[in-house]
Amino acid sequence: MAAVAAGDGAGSGAAGSPEAPAGGTGGGGWRRPHGPLQRYYGPSAAEAAEAAPDPTDINGPHFDPEVFMTKVRSKCPLGQLLAQEAALGREIRALDSDMQTLLYENYNKFISATDTIRKMKVDFRHMEAEMDDLAANMAAISASSARVSAALQDRHRRGAQLAGVQALLRKLQALVEVPGRLRHWAGTEPTRALRCYGRARSVLRHYRHLPSFRAIEDESHAIMAELAQRLRTRLRYETLDPKELTECVEILLQLEEPPEELSEEFLSQAGTRLEAELAMLEAELPTSDPSGTAATPPPASDILDFVDRGSSAFVGTLCQLAGSYRTLFGSDTGRLEPFATVLATRYFGLLERRLALERGLGDTSLLVRALDRFHRRLQALLELLPEGAAAAAALVARAARERVDRYLRALQTFFLGCLGDVRQALAAPRPPGKEGPGLPDLLATLAASVLGQLKAVLAYVQLFTARDVTFASLPYFKGEFCVAAVREGLVVAFVRWLCRTARGFADGPAERGAPAAPPALLLLLARLCLDYENSTISYILTLTDEQFPPQDSGPAVTPGPALCAEARAAAQRLLDHYVQVQGAAVAQMLRKSVETRDWLGTVEPRNVRAVMKRVVEDITAIDVQVGQLFEEGVRRAQSSDSSRRAFSVYSSSRAPGRYAPSYTPSAPMDTHLLSNIQKLFSERIDIFSPVEFNKVSVLTGIIKISLKTLLECVRLRTLGRFGLQQVQVDGHYLQLYLWRFASDERVVQGLLDEVAASAAHRCLDPVPMEHSVVELICERG
């Protein structure tokens, strides 16, 4: 045994790989008992697929004991052989016991099955007998039923015959009565007569070979013909309301009158009726007077009433007629359409004339409601008149546009009225001691009233696009009306017009002759335009866009900045003009004073000339005026140079240290030389140059114009010694009072220096006055 065990161990160690099939056989041992059974009931797919037959597979179908033996014998060592033999023996025994168990079980089942079958056989025999009984009973029942029905058949047939005869008799009776009834109804209720006739007609036609029936038929024919005749007469000569008309034509149609002819008559009848209604509407309109609008009386009824009546009467009738026409003559509207178009066009024409009467501003809501009603009623006609809808929409749009235009004009008139008021307020003589309304008040009133009016107009116009108005949903009102009519046509046009008008004050009257606008008005308008540029335009546009939302793909709109630029340009123009006008006024004064004086023979100056005082007064007044409307503006910090030149009068009024000198003058220079050098390096002074929107700039502009005039005038004169001294005094006086108005003191100084230099140049005997004396005179003056 030890040897076997050893050999087995060696064998298993030596032949590791050939062991594998043996192990596999061992592993498959469990299933082995079911394998044959399975095979018996049919090989499974897996086994069928098993391709290569292995003769050594002890469980396989191709098992070949010879091969197996040979293989085992040749391959396995003795130990293993023995072990395999023992294993095989064990397996065989196990299989045997399994087989026995199965056999026994099967046998038991077989026995019980046999018992069951035997029991069933007994039961069936019993049931057969009962079925036979049942069949016999059924046969008896059917026989008796046949007997009964045979007995009743005869009587039933007789009853049916009787019923038929009675029905026939009743029909005959009805036929006989037909003419009477027809006659009875033909007068009062043609519809019933017609129905009756319709029922009887086919029968009568069928039996017309019988004389009595023919008589009846002829009679009823005659009656119906008469009826038809009567109806036609009625149709032709009487005025029928639409319902009667429809009825009438319907009956005639059923009486087989020719429909062509009928439809024509129908239309002509309807036409007369509609014409009558139109005529009624037209009667309300004043006779169109091509010569002028002078004596047209105000329309008797307001537009809403008119449209109401027009739509309820005319449009309603037209709708009704069109509807009945369609039901009567089918959907072929070849004749109806042109008919309706002609009438509708006339109606539109009437309405247009009526709208044209709405000249005044009146009540927009009334107009809107009227238009709305008109449009709504017309919707009913839409399917009938597709082009009518377009025409109606165009009409409404035209009316709306017209209204907007009128509002624009009203706004313009209003603005002009406001301006007139302002002018009056400006021109009104002020009671002494009591200040009239200040410029800011006037400006505020003007701006507020114009803006208020504009808003009110927008609110009115908005009625056209209100949600509950039907035509507001038209694409025109959604898009083009908002953008083209309201935004461009009303708001933008108004702002543009305002700017243009304002500019007109600057451009127009200055040219020739026409009464020039008062300077204060120019100033006021400049401020107004500037305000528009700053805020009002954007406010108005936002408001408009809110109330009339523009469509994205709509026509191009004028952008706000463009308008702002226009307003700004107008404001600039006005302010420039203001400066020129005021400057010219002062300059004129100076020029006259220089030209008329005899500068050679003048006496030694004792006073500042009155005209200079007047100039200072005027400029102070202008300063006050401008200061009411415009901000102070930036003053250029005085250079130390000018502060050195400043005289004690106003150098003392300055807070010390406020104008901290950035540099100290290097050396006192001759002022004349200094100013000459300064002139070389300083930029040119543009005299009539555009000004900025602030007080200082405006005042500087005016002062520049005045002083330059003084300079040019002095250059044209020849002065004596005292003339020069007078100029000296005047110049000093001006400098004393004007520096505070100008943005750059050096401008004033420079110009006055030039005046002094020119005066010295034009002087025959240039002996300047003592500076202290000059100061003294000025202070005294």
- Measured CA to CA, the distance from residue 397 to residue 486 in angstroms comes to 12
Quick one: 596 or 652, whose CB is closer to other proteins? 596
Helix (H) or strand (E) holding 588: helix 560-596
Residue 315 sits at φ, ψ, to 5 deg, of -65, -40
- Measured CA to CA, the distance from residue 649 to residue 368 in angstroms comes to 72
Min. distance of Cβ 369 from other proteins in angstroms? 51
492 to 531: interface string for other proteins, x by CB under 8 A = ------------------xxxx------------------
Among 32, 635, 715, 740, binds other proteins (CB under 8 A): 715
Burial of 370 (0-12, 13-18, 19+ CB in 10 A): buried
Is 215 near other proteins (CB under 8 A)? no
Quick one: 454 or 751, whose CB is closer to other proteins? 751
Quick one: 565 or 585, whose CB is closer to other proteins? 585
Is 687 near other proteins (CB under 8 A)? yes
Quick one: 71 or 679, whose CB is closer to other proteins? 679
Is 601 near other proteins (CB under 8 A)? yes
Is 688 near other proteins (CB under 8 A)? yes
**Could you count the other beta carbons within 10 Å of the beta carbon of residue 489?**
18
Q: Which amino acid is at 529?
A: C
Among 763, 769, 777, 778, binds other proteins (CB under 8 A): 763
| DSSP state letters, 486-530 | IIIIIIIHHHHHHHHHHHHHHHHHHHSSSPPPPHHHHHHHHHHHH
Quick one: 268 or 588, whose CB is closer to other proteins? 588
Q: Which stretch binds other proteins (CB under 8 A): 129-137, 237-245, 318-326, 761-769?
A: 761-769
Min. distance of Cβ 667 from other proteins in angstroms? 24
Is 681 near other proteins (CB under 8 A)? no
Quick one: 139 or 680, whose CB is closer to other proteins? 680
Among 254, 679, 740, 768, binds other proteins (CB under 8 A): 679
Min. distance of Cβ 684 from other proteins in angstroms? 6
- Measured CA to CA, the distance from residue 126 to residue 596 in angstroms comes to 165
Is 680 near other proteins (CB under 8 A)? yes
Among 354, 527, 573, 708, binds other proteins (CB under 8 A): 708
Min. distance of Cβ 761 from other proteins in angstroms? 8
Q: Which of residues 226-285 bind other proteins (CB under 8 A)?
A: none
For residue 281, how many C-alpha atoms fall within 13 Å in the half-sphere facing its CB?
A: 28
Quick one: 350 or 710, whose CB is closer to other proteins? 710
Quick one: 272 or 718, whose CB is closer to other proteins? 718
Q: Which stretch binds other proteins (CB under 8 A): 6-14, 51-59, 372-380, 677-685?
A: 677-685
Is 673 near other proteins (CB under 8 A)? no
Q: Convert 605-635 to b/e letters by CB count within 10 Å (16 or more is b).
A: beebbebbeebbebbeebbebbbbbbeebeb
Residue 430 in tokens: 């002020």
Quick one: 210 or 716, whose CB is closer to other proteins? 716
Cα 442 to Cα 426, 438, 618: the distances in Å are 9, 6, 22
Q: Which of residues 718-747 bind other proteins (CB under 8 A)?
A: 718, 720
Is 100 near other proteins (CB under 8 A)? no
Min. distance of Cβ 286 from other proteins in angstroms? 43
**Could you count the other beta carbons within 10 Å of the beta carbon of residue 639?**
17
Min. distance of Cβ 580 from other proteins in angstroms? 8
Is 712 near other proteins (CB under 8 A)? yes
Residue 616 sits at φ, ψ, to 5 deg, of -65, -40
Q: Which amino acid is at 290?
A: P
Min. distance of Cβ 759 from other proteins in angstroms? 12
β-strand partners of 763: 719
Quick one: 13 or 601, whose CB is closer to other proteins? 601
Q: Which stretch binds other proteins (CB under 8 A): 203-211, 606-614, 726-734, 756-764?
A: 756-764
- Measured CA to CA, the distance from residue 547 to residue 333 in angstroms comes to 43
Give yes or no for a contact between 625 and 439, defined as CB atoms under 8 angstroms apart.
Answer: yes
Residue 440 in tokens: 């800011």
- Measured CA to CA, the distance from residue 731 to residue 672 in angstroms comes to 14
Q: Which stretch binds other proteins (CB under 8 A): 18-26, 78-86, 98-106, 678-686?
A: 678-686
Quick one: 155 or 684, whose CB is closer to other proteins? 684
Q: Which stretch binds other proteins (CB under 8 A): 159-167, 286-294, 370-378, 582-590?
A: 582-590
Quick one: 318 or 724, whose CB is closer to other proteins? 724
- Measured CA to CA, the distance from residue 477 to residue 735 in angstroms comes to 65
Burial of 432 (0-12, 13-18, 19+ CB in 10 A): exposed
Cα 459 to Cα 348, 407, 492: the distances in Å are 28, 11, 16
- Measured CA to CA, the distance from residue 234 to residue 288 in angstroms comes to 37
Is 686 near other proteins (CB under 8 A)? yes
Residue 90 in tokens: 């064990």
Quick one: 550 or 720, whose CB is closer to other proteins? 720
Quick one: 451 or 584, whose CB is closer to other proteins? 584
Residue 398 sits at φ, ψ, to 5 deg, of -60, -45
Min. distance of Cβ 700 from other proteins in angstroms? 14
Is 81 near other proteins (CB under 8 A)? no
Quick one: 247 or 712, whose CB is closer to other proteins? 712
| DSSP state letters, 137-189 | HHHHHHHHHHHHHHHHHHHHHHHHHHHHHHHHHHHHHHHHHHHHHHHHHHHH-
Min. distance of Cβ 717 from other proteins in angstroms? 8
β-strand partners of 719: 763
Burial of 310 (0-12, 13-18, 19+ CB in 10 A): buried
Min. distance of Cβ 623 from other proteins in angstroms? 23
Quick one: 71 or 591, whose CB is closer to other proteins? 591
Min. distance of Cβ 403 from other proteins in angstroms? 38
Among 72, 425, 584, 674, binds other proteins (CB under 8 A): 584
Residue 760 in tokens: 């010295």
For CA atoms 263, 266, 271, 274, give the dihedral sign. Answer: negative
* Count of residues interacting with other proteins (CB under 8 A): 27
Q: Which amino acid is at 530?
A: L
Q: Which stretch binds other proteins (CB under 8 A): 224-232, 623-631, 713-721, 745-753?
A: 713-721
DSSP 764: S
Quick one: 470 or 678, whose CB is closer to other proteins? 678
Is 684 near other proteins (CB under 8 A)? yes
Is 603 near other proteins (CB under 8 A)? no
The answer for 433, left when phi > 0, alpha when psi is -120 to 50, beta otherwise, is: left
Is 674 near other proteins (CB under 8 A)? no
Quick one: 489 or 583, whose CB is closer to other proteins? 583
Min. distance of Cβ 746 from other proteins in angstroms? 17
Is 689 near other proteins (CB under 8 A)? yes
- Measured CA to CA, the distance from residue 472 to residue 435 in angstroms comes to 52
Give residues in contact with other proteins (CB under 8 A).
510-513, 580, 584, 587-588, 591, 600-601, 679-680, 684, 686-689, 708, 712, 715, 718, 720, 761-764
